[in-house]
Chains A and B, each alone.
Chain A
Amino acid sequence: MSTPPVSSTKARVLFVDDEPSLLAALRRMLFGQRDRWSLAFASGGHEALDLLAREPADVVVTDMRMPGMDGVTLLREVERLYPQTQRIVLSGYAEAEATASALGVARQFLTKPCAPESLIHAIDQALAA
């Protein structure tokens, strides 16, 4: 799932989730933000790191429970390699959220299901930081 290079004026947001339908739905739902953000999607931690290696992102929004590499490991790697990149968790598990929070791997935690306004607001805040 590669995206063509875009102009640097648009913020780049990377979504990571092992559920393809969820990524597709996010892409559709955020269609209205296409002028402000360029969106990237990865179905797992490794793919996300590959994408970031090619083109760094301003914000990473990731699920916590994923096969292969889990959210905490991914966010640790992102923190180490790209300290400028803002990290947001979007998870269905309250416990996972609590874990991530305790470890301090992300600046914000969103619980599925999350209303579009909340998600957009959270990303905007991250970009403003």
Chain B
Amino acid sequence: MSRRLLCHACRTVLLNAACGVVMFSISTLTLLFLTGADGMMMPMFPGSALALVILWLAGLRVLPGVTVGLALSAILTGRVMMLPSVALGSVLEGIVGITLLRAVGFDVTLRRIRDAINLMVVVTTVGPLLTASITLATTYLFMGPLATPEAAAVLPPGMAPLSFALLAARFTWIADGVGTLLIAPTVLVWAGCLRRPIRLSRARLIEACVLGVFQLIALLVAMGIITDGPVAEEYLILPGLFWAALRFGPSGATLLTLLSNLAIIWLTLHGHGPYADESLVEPIRLQLFAMLAAASAFLLATTATERQQASEAAGRLRAESRFAELIEHITDMVLVVDAAGQIKFFNAAVTRVLGYSADELGALCATDLADPADLSYVRDATAWSCASGQPFVARARHKAGYWVPVESVITDRRSEPDIGGVIVTMRDITERQRTELELRNAQKLESVGRLAAGIAHEINTPIQFIGDNLHFLQAAATLVNQALGGVQSTEELAFLQAEMPLAIEQSLDGVQRVASIVRGLREFAQPATQEQQPADLNAALLSTLSVARHELDVVADVETELGVLPPVPCYLGDLNQVFLHLLVNAADAITARGSAQRGRIRATTRREGDMVLIEVSDTGCGIPESIRGQVFDPFFTTKDVGRGTGQGLALARSIVVDKHGGSIDFTTRVGHGTTFSIRLPLAGTERIPSLAEAA
């Protein structure tokens, strides 16, 4: 513990020493080389600027080092009279400046115009005012009441000590202001720049060099070095500064301003340029020029930077809002769920597919959307999806209470502060499951249909010869009976004579019926066609009735009322399925009513304008109010396990609506029966060509 304390102390002492050395060196160099021959004229003093910057960057703990460094430089350069203003004034100015800048929320990176203005106001008014006041007081004291002979010698002849003190204070103010205005922004900007490696492209480097040469020539011309006599146009250095400000930002502008002004001051003090005059007015003109040049370049640089940042920010905002727009409009659901399970973000698809309002979603946990029974599966699948990037299928709860099958991919972005959660992408796969189901069903039906057709064909030949034989027997029995007409008939023979024709007739009737069933089966099991073909729906309905006859006859009498129908373009095999489902459902509804009385099933067809209407009504149990909305949903069934799969009506709707552009609906009264109505367009449907057909 004490060692750490010691280390800390050592470091502070070293830091103080370093700051002291820096302060001492720069202050001494300025006092030696940037002052007039009389030692009084000093266009720029960097002490307070350095104190401000170093105290800002290193903290108040380096106060002793800074003060000592400044004091030593004043003493060793023989300016004891300036000691208070150099040491005390600079340090005070630094502390006050920092306090004021902190109070106005100064940002040291100097990327905003307000920071530039704040800095300039503080370092050119309040701070220098302090130092100037100290100068005024000390100069008056040393020249007046406490005057020594040496000091009195400095006083110009005929000048009152107070006047001299006021003049000194004015010089101090401006010198201090120029110093801080030139140095403070430069050091602060560069301290920020140097924290990160500086990368300049080749083109920028060349431009910087060209700018340097340009500015050097401008300086030489402005200060009358390479022209004959003092043509002396100091404003020639301004274009270079503005160039730097616009192209190289605050860092380039401050550096070039500092270097240019140092050069101007040094050259002026050595008798060059427009301000090289012995009069007391010229130094002030020089200082004002330096200040204004620095302020202009600095303001221009920060303005350019701020404008560039604003346009970049606007660009980012535009890009962000464009992406937000994209995500909002994609059909997949996108959610962000934080570590606590709270839904932090969702797009419009979520509200559309799952039915919750935006407010409701904001209050929901992600787990509220899952089935509690699935929860452990969903957790495992989530981890797996995060690791593998693969989708998994789960169920999401719709607001209405039913389940939506969804395919989800989870991406872990919990470590990214901008997202701070997992990204859940969910796709509603209801339609896909329905299609898969239809495909499976269609394949099953096709194979059953093919089998049925094969069996029907095989049965045809035996029916043919059974029928032929029975016809022969019928004729033979008649002949035999005629031949036996005169024979004395025994009781036995009489029975045979009476029953034989009946037996043959009923057998023939049976064969007729087998033949019609087989014909119906063959027509029912139409091979699936790619194109809609015109078909006689009445004949189709009749063939389906003959196939379903067994199921229906047990519970109900079947009536048909078939109107005149033109051929309807359709997929006949599919429609046969629909008719069969409706007829079998009707029979089941009558069974479910549980009455001993036979029910009635009625199939009607008629034309309605450019539509064909097919109705199947029953006198069954009816459909309860509560489930009317669900009867067309896949897998919805009221039948016992093994009796129904819940696919019949879903499939029927898909065939009628999707494949034929028709409609299917029902009217029902509980306890009285249900009527299903199918409407098919006579014009058929424009089918969207598949890829294979397009190729």
Q: Please give the residue numbers on chain A whose beta carbons come within 8 Å of chain B beta carbons, in ascending order.
A: 19, 21-22, 24-26, 28-29, 31-32, 90, 92-94, 111-116
Inter-subunit contact A112/B472 (CB<8 Å): no
Q: Whole-angstrom distance between the alpha carbons of A90 and B463 in the complex?
A: 13
Q: Whole-angstrom distance between the alpha carbons of A92 and B468 in the complex?
A: 15
Inter-subunit contact A26/B461 (CB<8 Å): no
If A31-B475, A113-B515 touch, whether A22 touches B460 (CB-CB below 8 Å) is no
Inter-subunit contact A22/B465 (CB<8 Å): yes
Interface of B is mostly: helix
If A92-B457, A93-B457, A94-B522 touch, whether A113 touches B467 (CB-CB below 8 Å) is yes
Q: Whole-angstrom distance between the alpha carbons of A115 and B471 in the complex?
A: 9
Q: Whole-angstrom distance between the alpha carbons of A32 and B471 in the complex?
A: 11
Inter-subunit contact B475/A112 (CB<8 Å): no
Within the complex, the shortest CB–CB distance from B423 to chain A, in Å, comes to 57
Inter-subunit contact B468/A29 (CB<8 Å): yes
Inter-subunit contact A116/B457 (CB<8 Å): no
Q: In the complex, which residues of chain B have a beta carbon less than 8 angstroms from the beta carbon of A29?
A: 468-469, 471-472
| B511 at the A interface (CB under 8 A) | yes
| B464 at the A interface (CB under 8 A) | yes
| B458 at the A interface (CB under 8 A) | yes
Q: Whole-angstrom distance between the alpha carbons of A25 and B470 in the complex?
A: 9
Inter-subunit contact B468/A28 (CB<8 Å): yes
Chain B, range 417-468, C-beta contacts under 8 Å to A? 457-458, 460-468
Inter-subunit contact A92/B469 (CB<8 Å): no
If A28-B472, A29-B472, A116-B471 touch, whether A92 touches B460 (CB-CB below 8 Å) is yes
Inter-subunit contact B472/A31 (CB<8 Å): yes
**CB-contact partner of A24 in B457, B461, B465, B522, under 8 A:** B465
Q: In the complex, which residues of chain A have a beta carbon less than 8 angstroms from the beta carbon of B511?
A: 113
Q: Whole-angstrom distance between the alpha carbons of A22 and B462 in the complex?
A: 7
Q: Whole-angstrom distance between the alpha carbons of A93 and B518 in the complex?
A: 12
Within the complex, the shortest CB–CB distance from A30 to chain B, in Å, comes to 8
In the complex, which residue of chain A has the Cβ closest to the Cβ of B466?
A25
Q: In the complex, which residues of chain B have a beta carbon less than 8 angstroms from the beta carbon of A115?
A: 467
A-B contact pairs, 13 of them (CB 8 A): A21-B462, A24-B465, A25-B465, A25-B468, A26-B465, A28-B469, A28-B472, A92-B457, A92-B461, A94-B457, A112-B464, A114-B464, A116-B471
Q: In the complex, which residues of chain B have a beta carbon less than 8 angstroms from the beta carbon of A90?
A: 464
Q: Whole-angstrom distance between the alpha carbons of A8 and B464 in the complex?
A: 30
If A28-B469, A113-B467 touch, whether A22 touches B475 (CB-CB below 8 Å) is no
Q: Give the tally of cross-chain contacts (CB within 8 A).
A: 54
B457-493 Cβ-contact flags toward A at 8 Å (1 or 0): 1101111111111011001100000000000000000
If A92-B457, A93-B457 touch, whether A112 touches B468 (CB-CB below 8 Å) is no
**CB-contact partner of A25 in B457, B460, B469, B515, under 8 A:** B469
**CB-contact partner of A113 in B460, B472, B475, B476, under 8 A:** B460
Q: In the complex, which residues of chain B have a beta carbon less than 8 angstroms from the beta carbon of A26?
A: 465, 468
If A31-B475, A32-B475, A94-B522 touch, whether A116 touches B461 (CB-CB below 8 Å) is no
Q: Whole-angstrom distance between the alpha carbons of A112 and B515 in the complex?
A: 9
Inter-subunit contact A25/B464 (CB<8 Å): yes
Interface centre among A26, A32, A94, A112 (most CB of B within 10 A): A112
If A32-B475, A94-B522 touch, whether A116 touches B460 (CB-CB below 8 Å) is no
In the complex, which residue of chain A has the Cβ closest to the Cβ of B523?
A94
Inter-subunit contact A92/B458 (CB<8 Å): yes
Q: In the complex, which residues of chain B have a beta carbon less than 8 angstroms from the beta carbon of A113?
A: 460, 463-464, 467, 511, 515
Interface centre among A26, A113, A114 (most CB of B within 10 A): A113
**CB-contact partner of A116 in B462, B468, B522, under 8 A:** B468
Interface centre among B471, B475, B476 (most CB of A within 10 A): B471
Q: In the complex, which residues of chain A have a beta carbon less than 8 angstroms from the beta carbon of B464?
A: 22, 25, 90, 92, 112-114
In the complex, which residue of chain B has the Cβ closest to the Cβ of A93?
B457
- Apart from the given pairs A24-B465, A29-B469, A31-B475, 13 other A-B contacts in the complex at a CB distance below 8 Å: A22-B465, A25-B465, A25-B467, A25-B468, A26-B468, A28-B472, A28-B476, A29-B468, A29-B471, A94-B457, A113-B460, A113-B511, A116-B467
Within the complex, the shortest CB–CB distance from A116 to chain B, in Å, comes to 5
Q: In the complex, which residues of chain A have a beta carbon less than 8 angstroms from the beta carbon of B515?
A: 113
Q: In the complex, which residues of chain A have a beta carbon less than 8 angstroms from the beta carbon of B457?
A: 92-94
In the complex, which residue of chain B has the Cβ closest to the Cβ of A90?
B464
In the complex, which residue of chain A has the Cβ closest to the Cβ of B469?
A25
Q: In the complex, which residues of chain A have a beta carbon less than 8 angstroms from the beta carbon of B468?
A: 22, 25-26, 28-29, 116
In the complex, which residue of chain A has the Cβ closest to the Cβ of B511?
A113
In the complex, which residue of chain A has the Cβ closest to the Cβ of B454?
A93
Q: Whole-angstrom distance between the alpha carbons of A92 and B511 in the complex?
A: 15
In the complex, which residue of chain A has the Cβ closest to the Cβ of B467?
A113
Q: In the complex, which residues of chain A have a beta carbon less than 8 angstroms from the beta carbon of B469?
A: 25, 28-29
In the complex, which residue of chain B has the Cβ closest to the Cβ of A22?
B465
Q: In the complex, which residues of chain A have a beta carbon less than 8 angstroms from the beta carbon of B465?
A: 19, 21-22, 24-26
Q: In the complex, which residues of chain B have a beta carbon less than 8 angstroms from the beta carbon of A92?
A: 457-458, 460-461, 464
Interface centre among A92, A93, A111, A114 (most CB of B within 10 A): A92
Q: Whole-angstrom distance between the alpha carbons of A116 and B473 in the complex?
A: 13
In the complex, which residue of chain A has the Cβ closest to the Cβ of B458?
A92
In the complex, which residue of chain A has the Cβ closest to the Cβ of B527?
A95
Q: In the complex, which residues of chain A have a beta carbon less than 8 angstroms from the beta carbon of B522?
A: 94
Chain B, range 500-529, C-beta contacts under 8 Å to A? 511, 515, 522
**CB-contact partner of A112 in B460, B471, B476, under 8 A:** B460
Within the complex, the shortest CB–CB distance from A26 to chain B, in Å, comes to 6
**CB-contact partner of B463 in A28, A93, A112, under 8 A:** A112
Q: In the complex, which residues of chain B have a beta carbon less than 8 angstroms from the beta carbon of A21?
A: 462, 465
Q: In the complex, which residues of chain B have a beta carbon less than 8 angstroms from the beta carbon of A93?
A: 457
In the complex, which residue of chain A has the Cβ closest to the Cβ of B463?
A113
Within the complex, the shortest CB–CB distance from A31 to chain B, in Å, comes to 6
Q: Whole-angstrom distance between the alpha carbons of A24 and B469 in the complex?
A: 8
Within the complex, the shortest CB–CB distance from B518 to chain A, in Å, comes to 8
Within the complex, the shortest CB–CB distance from B667 to chain A, in Å, comes to 39
In the complex, which residue of chain B has the Cβ closest to the Cβ of A117?
B471
Within the complex, the shortest CB–CB distance from A28 to chain B, in Å, comes to 4
Q: Whole-angstrom distance between the alpha carbons of A24 and B462 in the complex?
A: 12
In the complex, which residue of chain A has the Cβ closest to the Cβ of B472?
A28
Q: In the complex, which residues of chain B have a beta carbon less than 8 angstroms from the beta carbon of A19?
A: 461, 465
Q: In the complex, which residues of chain B have a beta carbon less than 8 angstroms from the beta carbon of A112?
A: 460-461, 463-464
Q: Whole-angstrom distance between the alpha carbons of A114 and B461 in the complex?
A: 10
Within the complex, the shortest CB–CB distance from B451 to chain A, in Å, comes to 15
In the complex, which residue of chain B has the Cβ closest to the Cβ of A110?
B464
Within the complex, the shortest CB–CB distance from B23 to chain A, in Å, comes to 109
Q: Whole-angstrom distance between the alpha carbons of A33 and B274 in the complex?
A: 145
Q: Whole-angstrom distance between the alpha carbons of A6 and B465 in the complex?
A: 26
Q: Whole-angstrom distance between the alpha carbons of A22 and B469 in the complex?
A: 9
Q: Whole-angstrom distance between the alpha carbons of A119 and B460 in the complex?
A: 15
Within the complex, the shortest CB–CB distance from B408 to chain A, in Å, comes to 49
In the complex, which residue of chain B has the Cβ closest to the Cβ of A96?
B457
If A113-B511, A113-B515 touch, whether A25 touches B472 (CB-CB below 8 Å) is yes
Q: Which 8 A-B pairs have the closest CB atoms?
A: A92-B460, A28-B472, A25-B468, A25-B465, A29-B468, A112-B460, A22-B465, A113-B463
Within the complex, the shortest CB–CB distance from A39 to chain B, in Å, comes to 13
Within the complex, the shortest CB–CB distance from B458 to chain A, in Å, comes to 7
Q: Whole-angstrom distance between the alpha carbons of A115 and B462 in the complex?
A: 13
Q: Whole-angstrom distance between the alpha carbons of A93 and B460 in the complex?
A: 8
Within the complex, the shortest CB–CB distance from A96 to chain B, in Å, comes to 9
Q: Whole-angstrom distance between the alpha carbons of A32 and B495 in the complex?
A: 26
Q: Whole-angstrom distance between the alpha carbons of A95 and B89 in the complex?
A: 115
Q: In the complex, which residues of chain B have a beta carbon less than 8 angstroms from the beta carbon of A25?
A: 464-469, 472
